[in-house]
Amino acid sequence: MPPGDAGAAAEPDADATIAIPTPGRKRDEIPAAPAAGSAALAADIGALGGLNPLIAAANPILAVVPQIRHALRHPDPDGLRASLRQRIDVFEHEARAAGLGDEAVAQASYALCALLDESAACTPWGAGWAKSGLLAERHGDSAGGEKFFLLLETMAAQPAANLSLLEFLYACLALGFEGHYRDASDGRQALAEKRTRLLGLIRQQQAPHDGELSGHWRGVAAPARRPAGGLGLWAAGSGAALLLAAVYAGYSVTLGSLSDPVTREIAQLRLPESAAPGSGPAAGAATPRISEQLAEEIARGEVAVTDAAGISTIVIRSDRFFASGSARLEAEVEPVLLRIAQALDRVPGTILVTGHTDDVPIRTARFPSNWELSTERAASVVKLVAGKLSDASRLRAEGVADSAPVAPNDSAANRARNRRVVIILRSGS
């Protein structure tokens, strides 16, 4: 049964997400099953899993989460869903075989499904995932973003009795689960505080024993021994995992800075759009009148629109739509995007959404470089627009960082012009 009565759900902090780096657009697909590159992460999580039966059973699934979350494309989302469904069956079987009760297994399964659904739904190719997600299929629920955290609060009331599940929920948060905090104005800070409190609560259950292990220890010529039991090992494993996360974040940022010049050169090698076979407007294609449908938005300076034969270009200035260093759309601009979506839905053709940045580098765990930031901004626009299109498969998201400026990055005004999202409608394709 879904842990609805016990509670469960909420949202993650992006900057603390543990993720496999995908600089530029070099790696934009993931296989339906875990790639060989996930073996290292699986081993890291497995170090803790050996002491936590829930994490041990879910280790193969948890290791795939970063790949899902950061993939720009996937060749077979339905096949991925089927593969994850089978893995969850195995997880539940192994967790029960390890001696965990049905209620604890159901609660962990609920949290795991919520993590997987959110990881897929936030990608450009996962816009329709929530309609047939794992959580709805297996637990008859679609409110994982809130109930995850209700479950967390319920388990935290008796931490000693629920330590394994609390550790499991913390692993989900460390892998990027955000839940309802994802769209909250102060969600990032609130989620970081909740994660910190949870970690402190877990550590309190690891208090070392102050008494002597033996009343006759003095004078015994024997080598020092490690304290018996798994508590010390678990603490060591937790410390190692946190250290690995810190090392990874450092390497990710360094990799982003080193890969930027190479990725920029690769991006500039692309053929011009007019040279790509079949990319131009069809002969005699009519000019789509997107500008007429968005006349009010253009007059208010919210967007700029250019209509030509078979193609319309909509330019959105990023500064009003996104906070600095963020890929989360500001709530007040969503009506503008919804009107754009309605206009696009009236004209057939393919739609490319491209994210652009200025040349000021960004170095965070969430965004090791401007390539990740521009890609996620484009994906955020795609996700919102897709909900208003009768055919969401028309959409495609792409991030190009600062490789295609419209003005030199030599002033604050010009940098602001370069920070933009461009929507290109090709009505002849």
pLDDT reported for residue 362: 79
Q: How far apart, in Å, are the Cα atoms of 314 and each of 139, 160, 291, 334? A: 41, 56, 9, 15
Element containing residue 15 per DSSP (H, E): none
pLDDT (tens, 9 = 90+) of the chain, 429 residues, equals 444 433 333 333 434 333 333 333 333 333 333 333 344 444 444 444 446 889 989 998 998 888 888 877 888 888 888 999 999 999 999 999 989 999 999 999 999 999 999 888 888 888 777 677 888 888 888 777 788 999 999 999 998 899 999 999 999 998 889 888 887 778 888 888 888 899 888 888 865 544 454 545 455 555 555 555 555 566 666 666 665 665 555 555 445 444 455 444 444 444 344 333 344 444 445 666 899 999 999 999 889 999 988 899 999 987 888 888 888 888 888 999 999 999 999 999 999 999 999 888 876 777 788 888 889 999 999 999 999 999 999 999 998 888 889 999 899 888 889 999 999 999 865
Q: Where are the alpha helices (DSSP H) in 144-186?
A: 144-156, 163-174
Q: What stretch(es) of the chain map to CATH 1.25.40.590?
A: 14-206+232-254
> Does the domain at residues 285-426 carry the CATH identifier 3.30.1330.60?
yes
d(CA 147, CA 2): 10
User: 280 near 40, Cβ under 8 Å?
Assistant: no
Structure tokens at 193: 């505080």
Instruction: Order across the sheet with 350-356: list the strands.
Output: 303-308, 311-317, 420-426, 350-356, 395-399
In this structure, the chain runs to a length of 429
Structure-token match 């996700």, residue found? 383
Structure tokens at 404: 């295609």
Of residues 179, 170, 232, the one with CA closest to residue 201: 170
User: 377 near 316, Cβ under 8 Å?
Assistant: no
d(CA 398, CA 19): 19
User: 360 near 405, Cβ under 8 Å?
Assistant: no
Work out the number of other CB atoms within 10 angstroms of the CB of residue 159. 15
d(CA 178, CA 11): 2
Q: What stretch(es) of the chain map to CATH 3.30.1330.60?
A: 285-426
Structure tokens at 136: 């709805």
CATH of domain 14-206+232-254: 1.25.40.590
Could you say which DSSP state residue 36 is in? G
How do beta strands 350-356 and 395-399 pair? parallel
pLDDT reported for residue 322: 87
d(CA 102, CA 92): 9
Buried b (16+ CB within 10 A) or exposed e, 220-231: eeeeeeeeeeee
Exposed, middle or buried: residue 261 (CB in 10 Å: 0-12, 13-18, 19+)? exposed
